[in-house]
Structure 1
């Protein structure tokens, strides 16, 4: 029987994709169905057909999987954020561990990798874990001002001021801002007409310090916020409020933040800790959004680095120095490299804040900075740590790293596919995967972080010979 669009069929979900979609087969033809989990028997409606596969939407669960749970969030299905909230947390962890293992096997070619993988490090409490939120502001179909999150693959806002993976205080912040906007007749931004003022509300919350930042992203300047003093006065009443700012973004773009920030009240940053290291965090700073699990992730990277106090370490894609400063607690000298100048400015401030004088930061491409410094100083690193963006490492950089011949490479990854690809290249150059740790930093989403330790005994011997000479 040939499938047709809008046709309703019965389907048993047999597998799960990396994007969190269920996969079932109708007479051998694969269909991807959002909001389903392995073991579900469901009625679905076909939405799109390709030559070799198709998509369908969930109409009704006829027989739920034993791993299915009822999402506590009332808009989990509509919202584009928590794609697998309907899957029990134990199974979420299993799914993510398998995702890393499967990528290392299929893409990296590492057979038997499971034996080198530690059990996944999950969250004790997988709710209210995010310290940063970005809420789009818009109008509902009745013309009322709303805040929330975009529905999956759209720019349609699903109203929600109390997201269950965000800090509870965000609800109070958003309700104050929405009342202020309505009372002062301030229009939200309309991306189709490029009119209206308020685009997003950004919040940051220090989980250790309790400090709070609120930043309104404007299609204009702060002077256009009528009666802003009244808004500031109300927000100041929230315990922990430290920084109230505006960010100007007048571009026709999907990028949330513009380059310019101004302070309405308080400081232009908040402070928080990861472990014993203190950081200043501004509106534009990159800072891990789950501080509890970030400590787990960085502690594992530090453990894999195997530092005894005499090592030279390079931290590539160092951002604002989060991992660099963690490493500097136990290394002789750490060198951090990042292409974004503003991030390096933050990194240097954070090093000074922690009174760490054994860290040096460079602005530029790692594949250019690292070999130039090696040629200038002749100093061979003991350890190289990389924490690249989702696209992974530049291949030139991978070859530069193997030329530098550290005895250990610690690869921190937010994408198991590019991790596997890059590890394959490193292992072709003589390295070997020793250990892999998987850390769940983003409960109820499909994203997963991992740390991989690669070593090369020949490089250890080379370092020893160089030291003896």
Structure 2
């Protein structure tokens, strides 16, 4: 049967894809549908066709799945942030566990892996959990100022000041900024023309310290923000307001933050804790966005590292030293590696602030620093911890890790496909997977974190 664009079809959703989209089949032809749930019977409009599969949009749910729920946010379907809010939280957790399991089996070749997997670590309250937000600012068709989030795969702003996965204080901040902009005729940035002033409103919230940062990203100079003291006075009315700053980004780019930061009120940072470790966080700092689940993730990494005070640990892709300093509580010495110099500066400061003199940091690519230190300086590792970006570990880095032959490797991952690929390589070179934990770090999205323990086979 041949399908065409805009054709209406009725189908039953029998599977779920990597991005959380529903999958239905008609005569063996697969259709992928955003906002569809396994068990739904839907009427859908085909929007794109390929040879063996296509994409469709749900026009009507004819018979809802028992796992379908009403999204808490009325903008959930239009917004590109929460792709799974229409799926019960219990089913979200099952989906993420299976996603990791399937990748480890199909890509990693790890048979019987479920026996080594712990039950998924979900959230008691899977809403209002994010400590960082970046809201684009623009205008609607009538020219009114709006802020919110981009619709999926577009740069069209969905007007939304109340987000159910962000910290609740954000709504007050956004309304105050929009009010200030309207009163002072401050323009919003237009990425098509590269004109307009305010590009984004970035916020950070310390969940333990309750400190708040607001950073306006602008296409201009601080002096272009007329009567800025009005905004400062208004934001200071919010309990916990600690830092107000301006980030300069005049580049015609999708990159949100520029490199220049000017403080307006307070310091250019806030503090927060993960467990007993204190971190200084600036506008440019990488810091996990879900502090409650980050503590779960890091405690699991610590457990898998099995430190007794005599171990040398290497933490690769260390960022501002979040995992490094967590491990430094029990290790003899920790070496962190990160390509971003500013992140290493933060890591060194955080180590000093917490009184860790057993943590040292290197700037550079992990796949260059570790081989250099191993081959030239003969460094040693009892345990190696990696927390790479989505693309996973570089092949040269994996090769050096194998040569160093640590007793244990703890692999923290935000992408189960590249995790599985790398575990297969390590498995072919003398390491076996002992344990796997799946942590729901990003509730209501298809993203998932996991941590694996590998041990050296002697």
Task: Give TM-score, length-normalised by structure 2.
Answer: 0.99
CA contact (8 A) 2:320 2:344 kept: yes
Partner of residue 173, structure 1: 173
Partner of residue 320, structure 2: 320
Partner of residue 342, structure 1: 342
Distance 2:307 2:3 in 1: 59
Partner of residue 414, structure 1: 414
Gaps of 5+ in 2: none
Q: C-alpha offsets along residues 328-382 of structure 1, whole Å, 9 cap, x if unaligned?
A: 0000000001111000000001001101100000101222222322344434210
Within a 5 Å distance, the mapping from 1:6-405 to structure 2 comes to: 6-405=6-405
Distance 2:127 2:379 in 1: 45
Distance 2:256 2:263 in 1: 18
Partner of residue 467, structure 1: none
- The alpha-carbon deviation at position 2 of structure 1 amounts to 2.7
- The alpha-carbon deviation at position 401 of structure 1 amounts to 0.3
Distance 1:176 1:434 in 2: 51
Distance 1:78 1:442 in 2: 18
Q: C-alpha offsets along residues 232-272 of structure 1, whole Å, 9 cap, x if unaligned?
A: 11111110000000101111111111111110110110000
CA contact (8 A) 2:313 2:385 kept: yes
Task: Give TM-score, length-normalised by structure 1.
Answer: 0.97
Distance 1:179 1:389 in 2: 38
Distance 2:4 2:398 in 1: 48
CA contact (8 A) 2:334 2:359 kept: yes
Distance 1:8 1:395 in 2: 46
Distance 2:25 2:247 in 1: 48
Q: C-alpha offsets along residues 388-408 of structure 1, whole Å, 9 cap, x if unaligned?
A: 001000000000001011000
Distance 2:112 2:429 in 1: 20
Question: How many correspondences in the alignment?
Answer: 458
